[in-house]
Structure 1
Amino acid sequence: MSSDSSTSKWADLAPRVLSAVAMAGIAIFAIWSGGVVYQAMIIVVIGLCMWEFIRLLQPEPSTVPIALGVAASVSLLVSSLGAEAAPGIAFSPKIAVLFVAPLVGAILLTSHRLLCFAYGLLIMLAGLGFLAMGPGPALIWFILIIIVSDVAGYFAGRLIGGKKFWPRVSPKKTWSGTIAGWIGALILGLIGMSQGIFTPLEAFLVPLIAFAGQMGDIVQSAIKRMVGVKDSSNLIPGHGGVLDRFDAMIGAAGALVLLAGVGTLIFAG
């Protein structure tokens, strides 16, 4: 192997590390500060995710992605006024404002309209979920679920291998890794139950949150393959876009909001 090829292999290491440190620093500061600072971070992140998503569906130069990104942030800001009212948040009247950006996008775009509405709404629900969890124990446990599922899946997939989960969309993901992610999440849920964090029902629902995170990653990969791009944007040096970093959490947080809303309807009835 030549020195040139070896150098090029690690050419993006410095920007990746610096970007990761910067993102971690911003996240830690926002979570530690809480309140308006945390809310502002989530609102900005969701606006950027919506902007990147619409750009994927409509890559030609247009003001539509920017407008919908701003609309997503404003909508989430309005809806966040009641975010602390979980668990019934998913079916409260405030949910209506979250439909604005996905619905307007579905009307304005000339193709992929259903995808725009469905995934766009998932982004909005995820944002509301992050605000509802707040910078506290619920958010920490949520992040742990995603991390444990991802780490368990990574090592099981590498060590065990086997049949691919969805080879056409995500060639590296295996069934062994996927199932290991569920098991890791379940173990974490049981640990949380033993500490009084989760009820028995919640502990056994934790793998569903992990699975939603896995599917969030896969769905975003499928969207990028469909439009023929590697990253959602080049906003983060060495990492791609914001959506590339939050795809699993968007799937999991959106699912969490829906589960909370369904649970509220069931027990209220």
Structure 2
Amino acid sequence: MSGKERWGDLNVRLISAGVMIALGIVLLWLGGAAFMLAIWALAGAMVWELSRMLGGRAWAPGMGVIAALALALAWALPVWLAVPGLIAVACFGAWQISERRVLFGAYAAAILLACHTTILLRIDAGTAWLLWVVCVVVATDVAGYMAGRALGGPKFWPAISPKKTWSGTIAGWLAAGIVGIAFGIFLGAGAGLMVLSVLLSIAGQAGDIWESWIKRRVGVKDSSNLIPGHGGVLDRFDAMLGATLLTGGLWLFGLVPGIS
């Protein structure tokens, strides 16, 4: 692969990423209704993309709206009611399509639960903890992209994600560990956060691979074309889903040092 082919999409990706980062920082700082509305909208967009990919094109817009409204309702409920309610919405969506129902239900549930966890992290745990998760995912993605393009080498899983390399994967783990050390010092969480950051990095990569597998299975390159240089919303936030779900599970069982 020539240098031009390796870096040909970098400018578009950087511009789109810059806009998303700036908007994300503003929303994260504002919190409150603006932040929640943005997360609900993102969830709706991701469920819409998932519906389109898995054969529910006619129902996709409606399912996206239902997903966003379900998250809004979940915010008013205690967690023990919100979680099964969101899973029920995912199952309802699966019932609306004619094939790949289990796959749709599982991934839609992952989207809804991850988005709900994102809001809980911002509101209940604090901005710094959500920023930690975001930084781990971003560092993993950036380090993986740069190392993979610059170093190349053996592919990580060519049948599912042909662009991912072992060099990029390992670089992502190292970058996540560095983020964990920095936030461990800042949040007073100690060295344990470095280990958790690497685990979050792996979970994020798993989320990325899961979405790549779905796209391979249905024969599409991107989940949509909403974000120039990045494809769809799912293409950009699939890793965040995996990392956030793991964070929520660890938080639920009191395994994140520093979060009560």
Range of TM-score over shorter length = 0.7 to 0.9
Equivalent residue, structure 2, for 1:29? 26
Equivalent residue, structure 1, for 2:213? 222
Q: What's the CA shift string for 1:14-38, capped at 9, x where partnerless?
A: 7x67655554443333223221001
Task: State the distance in 1 between where 2:11 and 2:237 align.
Answer: 20
Q: What's the CA shift string for 1:138-177, capped at 9, x where partnerless?
A: 1221111112222332343345433221111111212232
Which amino acid letter does the alignment assign opposite residue 172 of structure 2? Answer: G
Equivalent residue, structure 1, for 2:119? 131
Q: Which runs of 4+ in 1 moved over 6 A?
A: 9-14
Shift of 1:213: 1.0
Higher RCO (CA-CA < 8 Å; seq separation 6+): 1
Q: What's the CA shift string for 1:47-87, capped at 9, x where partnerless?
A: 1111111110015x41x21222112111111222368xxxx
Task: State the distance in 2 between where 1:26 and 1:156 align.
Answer: 26
Task: State the distance in 2 between where 1:137 and 1:201 align.
Answer: 16
RMSD of aligned Cα (Å): 2.8
Which amino acid letter does the alignment assign opposite residue 163 of structure 2? Answer: K
Task: State the distance in 1 between where 2:8 and 2:199 align.
Answer: 37
Task: State the distance in 2 between where 1:12 and 1:186 align.
Answer: 25
Structure 1, 245-254 or 28-37: larger mean CA deviation: 28-37
Listed as ranges, the matches of 1:121-200 within 5 Å are: 121-134=109-122, 136-200=127-191
Q: Closer, same or farther in 2 for the Cα pair 1:111/1:262, shift >3 Å?
A: farther
Task: State the distance in 2 between where 1:185 and 1:219 align.
Answer: 20
Listed as ranges, the matches of 1:10-159 within 5 Å are: 19-20=16-17, 22-58=19-55, 61-62=57-58, 64-81=59-76, 92-134=80-122, 136-159=127-150
Q: Aligned residues, how many?
A: 247
Q: Max radius of gyration: which structure?
A: 1
Which amino acid letter does the alignment assign opposite residue 75 of structure 1? Answer: A
What TM-score, normalized by structure 2, do the two folds share?
A: 0.83
Q: Closer, same or farther in 2 for the Cα pair 1:25/1:154, shift >3 Å?
A: closer
Task: State the distance in 2 between where 1:43 and 1:178 align.
Answer: 30
Task: State the distance in 2 between where 1:13 and 1:224 align.
Answer: 25
Which amino acid letter does the alignment assign opposite residue 95 of structure 2? Answer: I
Contact 1:217 1:247 in 2 (8 A): yes
- Note the residue ranges of structure 2 that are not aligned, 5 or more in a row: 256-260
Equivalent residue, structure 2, for 1:205? 196
Shift of 1:41: 0.4
Contact 2:226 2:233 in 1 (8 A): yes
- Note the residue ranges of structure 1 that are not aligned, 5 or more in a row: 1-5, 84-88, 265-269
Contact 1:68 1:101 in 2 (8 A): no
